[in-house]
Structure 1
């Protein structure tokens, strides 16, 4: 088994790595030393460090999961749907895709996505609902609609719901009250984005058929190297690459020649939420393969981190990592904690994620009339922050105006509150915008990205310009016992996010597609992204 390794092509980080070694940062992280990130961070750090030895402490879960899986299979229940957001969904997605097993990941509130998940064979379906508290509005709404669907189909819903939550949470109590099939309790001293090797990552992955025991073995094999106070420790090197590259505050995350599928999407959340705060941080830009324009331009504020089958490629000038999935998970978690130390921030909180949630909740409660469009062009209604649409009456003009606000050290964020399967061709605008602007461009499906890069958008370097895309849906899905539908919910999430960005002085262009298919085609044509690119982003 190969342990992770990092190769860099210049020595810019040598002094930083020597400092990390002399200060024993690696062994102190392994020892769960909460003082590393300073006194202000210590209260949070002291209850967020149990991820360092999950390869040991999570093993008792394996027998429980295996027993449940055997029972489910004996009953012909082999379609696993995961309702979860952020860390609850991203790690299982990578684990199962890498293992080549099927897991329906439901981390959207788009009515079309919800309807498609409900349209699957309920007779074969088990739903894993993952939430630390149970109060996440997306996950609670998804749980409610599946309970109704099972009941309407004459199926005992309680026998089809598996819960993953923290001990003592309201969700644990609800699960017990409702008599759900099984409740798995995760380690509460692990944050969501570090939870890949807790019950949140292991339960849905194993029920879908992934070998999670091997995953823990891989992490255990890598752990001694990652805990060593040595200049050869790849976590120290990668942490230095991410956070101590002078003038570079953006990292292009790509995978090439690796059997690990979708890893940049998981690492994107880890880095963005951990570092994007207090006006600083590292902006991760997840791309697919080596075709992203940013990988072939000499942009002075960018570093590259390539996940490869082995660290021998000469195609990327900065950091290369290789190794097993379990080893990579622990490597990047450790490196991100190291990067937080170097940046002088707390890598375990996410102070700006809640702002968009509060704004969305306020809009759900008030349910105001939609803001009138400034104008409509084809299948697209256009809205924007103040001043952005002065003397503009076309979508092309609106895009030009937004991009004119882009600074030399800035980035573009595309936020698509659409159906990631139906509207997947839209990802082609990411490389098209990158080629046009010579700047990094992120692409996130909403509301999923709110639990990922959404933290950086509001708390990181104030350099972004934001393109939000929403759509009118031909059908909606009711949420049982709630005064709003999924259509209302995703609209409130999009509007709330845009409002918070505007309040913080970020330029936001909002494009609402009155017809999703026609609107996507119109945008692709406007940006010259006629062919679906191999590089899409998340």
Structure 2
């Protein structure tokens, strides 16, 4: 079998309770038949145009030969470096596919000017840019494409020979690509971004980078019959019930890679879970952990631990993990299984798993700041060059960085979580990721960590639409050098700052506590920040 799942404790009870009803209600076959009524009348309109992913294996088969032929064409011309400009569903699936396959794909899912400069300086003469956007209007992807077009022309390279477009039919990006003469792959418009792993969005950049996308589709096809059958052994029903059917609900899903051969799967699952379920004040919060993260030993009653292992059956026999969910399988099979499972979870939670009503709010706020260019809000205080701003409750311990952090954590509900949102150049400041474990140990609660603006296309929906029990630590940094966006009245540095400020503003409007720390000299101030958080 290409997938194995073992459940125990509350997860096992959830499976025993809900799977028989899901089987009786013909949920699995209903999803496969693209029945939009499974999530209730309010969700039917959206679901009716978002279930094309169940046909992705068959629809995507012709892509295998097309992508292979284009890859050979590029290689014959000495072009072997693939860069992907894409956000959320347009980049997360290619990231896990290529990492697992062990092939190189440069992921460009940031607006930090340092990351753009580093990418543009890396083997431009042998680079192909894949610009991938479902809507065709993603601001980050549009800006990245503009930068590469300009760089190619400056190097005497025709952009038409080096840019590949992946988008939906009729999108602004398709219209631009047609006018410019770019190679274009059109995806199924009846598939949402986070469900697009096995469509052109996941397959084109991965295949161009050298991953075996035919094998990936074979793996997904091998589990398709199991996922379509209304039976107690259906892995999509089992996993969906284990995640969303516990009582009381363990609504923090801690995902840890513990022996799996798949690299980065939790980051892909994070978007699928958070953006699909985090709405109407409900949801499942994915928390990506390492094997030694503090949350795994805290015994938190609202945390469901999911371990991605080499073999769920053998792992269970060798080492008992009461109350945990153990999952193993091939990558293609697991991608499709989790898509089914989260659709099932949406039904159990009573929400529409296919819309994302709060994602646009932060984008609109950022665009408003870019259009109006208001004067920056003065910091409440500055310590060691770190500018401190925040919602009123986070600044009650006025005057010190440590006090502000203490005030933020003091506002954390007993069943809440901490979200760290780092709008910085993660290539230059990877050590910031250590903040996650520090805060988890200090708070005794689950902590998520997201690089901005990437997470806006992932957990950003949950932050605004999910349960109102999060507190938010936003970290920004003054860029040591900015970068122009061709034919735009703003720079990449201004864009990322506007995205951060817009996100913080929307969170504040939703009543979420937000502490904003801006590093004016990031490299020098990170140790000070870590000490304050410790």
Q: TM-score over 0.5 for the alignment?
A: yes
1:86-485 equivalent positions in 2, closer than 5 A: 86-180=88-182, 182-247=183-248, 248-288=250-290, 290-311=291-312, 312-313=315-316, 314-315=320-321, 317-485=323-491
Whole-angstrom CA distance in 1 between matches of 2:263 and 2:321: 20
Task: String of CA shifts for 1:182-223, please: whole Å, max 9, x gaps.
Answer: 100111110000000000000000000000000000000011
Whole-angstrom CA distance in 1 between matches of 2:385 and 2:246: 44
The alignment partner of 1:35 has SS state of helix
Task: String of CA shifts for 1:224-270, please: whole Å, max 9, x gaps.
Answer: 11112111112111111111111211100111111100000000000
Offset of residue 388 of structure 1: 2.3
Whole-angstrom CA distance in 2 between matches of 1:205 and 1:51: 18
Offset of residue 391 of structure 1: 4.2
| Structure 2 partner of 1:507 | 513
Offset of residue 522 of structure 1: 1.4
Q: 1:523 aligns with which of 499, 512, 529?
A: 529
Q: 2:68 aligns with which of 57, 63, 66?
A: 66
| Structure 2 partner of 1:81 | 83
Q: Is the 8 A contact 2:46 2:354 kept in 1?
A: yes
Q: Is the 8 A contact 1:306 1:316 kept in 2?
A: no
Offset of residue 171 of structure 1: 1.1
Whole-angstrom CA distance in 2 between matches of 1:246 and 1:303: 11
| Structure 1 partner of 2:4 | 5
Q: Is the 8 A contact 2:475 2:517 kept in 1?
A: yes
Offset of residue 31 of structure 1: 1.0
Q: Is the 8 A contact 2:288 2:448 kept in 1?
A: yes
Whole-angstrom CA distance in 2 between matches of 1:306 and 1:505: 33
The alignment partner of 1:6 has SS state of strand
The alignment partner of 1:402 has SS state of helix
Q: Is the 8 A contact 2:305 2:324 kept in 1?
A: yes
Task: String of CA shifts for 1:147-187, please: whole Å, max 9, x gaps.
Answer: 0000011111121100001112121111010111x100111
Q: Is the 8 A contact 2:397 2:407 kept in 1?
A: no
Distance 1:330 1:316, change over 3 A: farther
Q: Is the 8 A contact 1:379 1:522 kept in 2?
A: no
Further displaced range: 455-464 or 227-236: 227-236
Q: Is the 8 A contact 2:393 2:513 kept in 1?
A: no
| Structure 1 partner of 2:492 | 486
Whole-angstrom CA distance in 2 between matches of 1:276 and 1:80: 33
Offset of residue 383 of structure 1: 0.3
The alignment partner of 1:512 has SS state of strand
Offset of residue 316 of structure 1: 6.2
Q: Judging by fraction of residues, say which structure has more helix.
A: 2
Whole-angstrom CA distance in 2 between matches of 1:217 and 1:146: 34
Whole-angstrom CA distance in 2 between matches of 1:387 and 1:348: 34
| Structure 2 partner of 1:531 | none
TM-score by length of 1: 0.96
Aligned structure 1 segments of 4 or more residues deviating by more than 3 angstroms = none
The alignment partner of 1:369 has SS state of coil
TM-score by length of 2: 0.97
| Structure 2 partner of 1:45 | 47
Q: Is the 8 A contact 1:218 1:326 kept in 2?
A: yes
Structure 1's unaligned 5+ residue stretches are 529-538
Q: Is the 8 A contact 1:304 1:316 kept in 2?
A: no
The alignment partner of 2:107 has SS state of strand
Offset of residue 525 of structure 1: 2.2
Whole-angstrom CA distance in 2 between matches of 1:270 and 1:519: 34
Whole-angstrom CA distance in 2 between matches of 1:356 and 1:199: 27
Whole-angstrom CA distance in 2 between matches of 1:467 and 1:98: 31
Further displaced range: 379-388 or 83-92: 379-388
Structure 2's unaligned 5+ residue stretches are none
RMSD: 1.0
Task: String of CA shifts for 1:297-317, please: whole Å, max 9, x gaps.
Answer: 111111111111111242463
Whole-angstrom CA distance in 2 between matches of 1:53 and 1:157: 34
Q: Is the 8 A contact 1:87 1:192 kept in 2?
A: yes
The alignment partner of 1:59 has SS state of helix
